[in-house]
């Protein structure tokens, strides 16, 4: 999941801003963590175009940063909605259900880091004020409440058909990407990831696809 922090700017975006997401940032805030544990996008949209849905006014000109948890510890749930196999299953992401609140604390740290970045030049001179959550929110509990309220998916769901060892009862596919209990069917996309990668999954999906080609070609 990711949260969002929105600023009003003194004027419109520079004309050389060619796309809605102009920059990104990976942060490893925990030295013991393998790889980044926070990811940020720097947006002019969509959040600055519709902050009303979050209960905030819409600035005439604005930008936003989105603290994102690349490897959340909360685990979702996939379940059947009926006995009809043509009905789509339901996917409950179960955000912020990890026991030690790692996910919640990570987003709070992300908001604080975004504020630190906003205080540096040239951003500091360009940003007029913080719209959401607002500079009056400074405590861990209130920032956590805000972060949870506005959190959303980044549309990279994965792990719904995870790969695992033969003795893993919860694994849908084996190490050769074959669906357990069926013949001649493999899965080669992000659904086989046992855990999330620390970046957007596209490159990982391409690697899984290449591996599937090798496995099929070798008859494995």
Active site residue ranges:
156
CA separation, residue 166 to residues 1, 99, 179, 185 (Å): 31, 28, 11, 16
Instruction: Determine contact, residues 3/111, Cβ cutoff 8 Å.
Output: yes
The 10 Å Cβ neighbour count of residue 62 is 24
CA separation, residue 204 to residues 16, 158, 163, 180, 196 (Å): 31, 11, 14, 22, 10
Alpha helices in the chain (DSSP H): 102-118, 123-126, 140-150, 202-218
Phi and psi (nearest 5°) for 79?
Answer: -145, 155
Q: Which residue from 206, 161, 168, 210 is spatially nearest to 187, judged by alpha carbons?
A: 161
How far is residue 107's CA from residue 3's CA, in Å, rounded to a whole number? Answer: 7
The contacts of residue 180 (CB under 8 Å, 6+ apart) are 171, 172, 173, 174
């Amino acid at each position: 999941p990711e949260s969002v922090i929105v600023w009003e700017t003194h004027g419109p975006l520079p004309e050389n801003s060619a796309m809605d997401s102009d920059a990104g940032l990976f942060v490893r805030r925990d030295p013991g963590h393998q790889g980044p544990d926070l990811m940020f996008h720097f947006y002019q949209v969509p959040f600055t175009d519709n902050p009303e849905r979050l209960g905030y006014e819409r600035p005439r000109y604005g930008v936003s940063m989105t603290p994102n948890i690349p490897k959340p510890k909360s685990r979702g749930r996939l379940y059947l909605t009926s006995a009809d196999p043509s009905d789509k299953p339901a996917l409950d992401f179960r955000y912020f259900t990890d026991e030690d609140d790692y996910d919640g604390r990570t987003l709070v740290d992300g908001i604080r880091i975004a504020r630190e970045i906003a205080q540096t030049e040239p951003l500091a001179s360009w940003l007029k004020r913080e719209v959401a959550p607002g500079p009056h929110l400074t405590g861990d509990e209130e920032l956590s409440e805000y972060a949870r309220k506005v959190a959303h998916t980044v549309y990279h769901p994965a792990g719904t058909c995870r790969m695992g060892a033969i003795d893993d009862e919860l694994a849908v596919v084996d190490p050769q990407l074959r669906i357990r209990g069926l013949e001649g069917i493999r899965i080669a996309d992000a659904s086989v990831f046992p855990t999330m990668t620390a970046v957007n999954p596209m490159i990982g999906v391409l690697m899984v696809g290449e591996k599937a080609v090798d496995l099929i070609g070798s008859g494995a």
